[in-house]
Amino acid sequence: MKTNLERVSVPHNQGIHVARAVTINRSAEDLYNFWHEPGNLPKVIGYIDTIEIVGENRAHWKLKLPGGAPLEFDVEMLTDVPNEVMSWRSLEGAPVQNAGSVRFKPAPAGKGTEVHLTIEFVPPGGILGEAILKLFGVAPNQYVGQMLRDFKAMMETGEKPTIQGQTSGREKGKYQ
């Protein structure tokens, strides 16, 4: 099968490919609707600053990378089937070639919805590439897995778990 290279953001066998899944005790419709609203994604995906719709099937993404490096690019929605799948790819000229999809499938025995997230990207060289690799760390699968666990928590409990504001259990001043 030939590939239409004009439509490919991440060429075959290049870059980093991450695929993870989680089961969430909510309907596919609820999960799709949350994911489909651009203002919701920064709530669960820490590196996304904003997503702004800029045209039919197009959005402008602003990311926050480690060390404060900003990253902006435009994406095109390739697939949008309500309650089933969404996919996107970066447009030509993006500083980071990337593509991804999120799929929503009924879990066995009516136990919620399986959410499958796939992300592919080719980190650039230099300082920007180093910042992106720091963002994902040495184990991109673990990072994406944590994003999905945060999404699960947000959808099942209404909030993303955090230790912010928690005490450490140490006596004040003893270990400082």
Q: Does residue 147 register a pLDDT over 80?
A: yes
Token pair for residue 67?
């060390």
Q: Is residue 26 part of a domain?
A: yes
Task: Please write the tens of the pLDDT for every residue from 100-129.
Answer: 999 999 999 989 999 999 988 876 665 556
Q: Strand, helix or coil at 75?
A: strand
Q: Phi then psi for 54, rounded to 5 degrees?
A: -120, 5
Q: Is residue 50 part of a domain?
A: yes
Q: Is residue 90 part of a domain?
A: yes
Number of domains in the chain: 1
Q: Is residue 166 part of a domain?
A: no
Domain range holding 55? 13-157
Q: Is residue 30 part of a domain?
A: yes
Rounded distance, CA 36 to CA 111, Å?
22
* Residue 52 pLDDT grade (very low, low, confident, very high; cuts 50, 70, 90): very high
Q: Is residue 165 part of a domain?
A: no
Question: What are the DSSP calls for 99-146, one per residue?
Answer: EEEEEEEEPGGG--EEEEEEEEEE--SHHHHHHHHHHHTT-HHHHHHH
Rounded distance, CA 86 to CA 80, Å?
4
Domain CATH code at residue 142: 3.30.530.20
pTM comes to 0.78
Q: Is residue 76 part of a domain?
A: yes
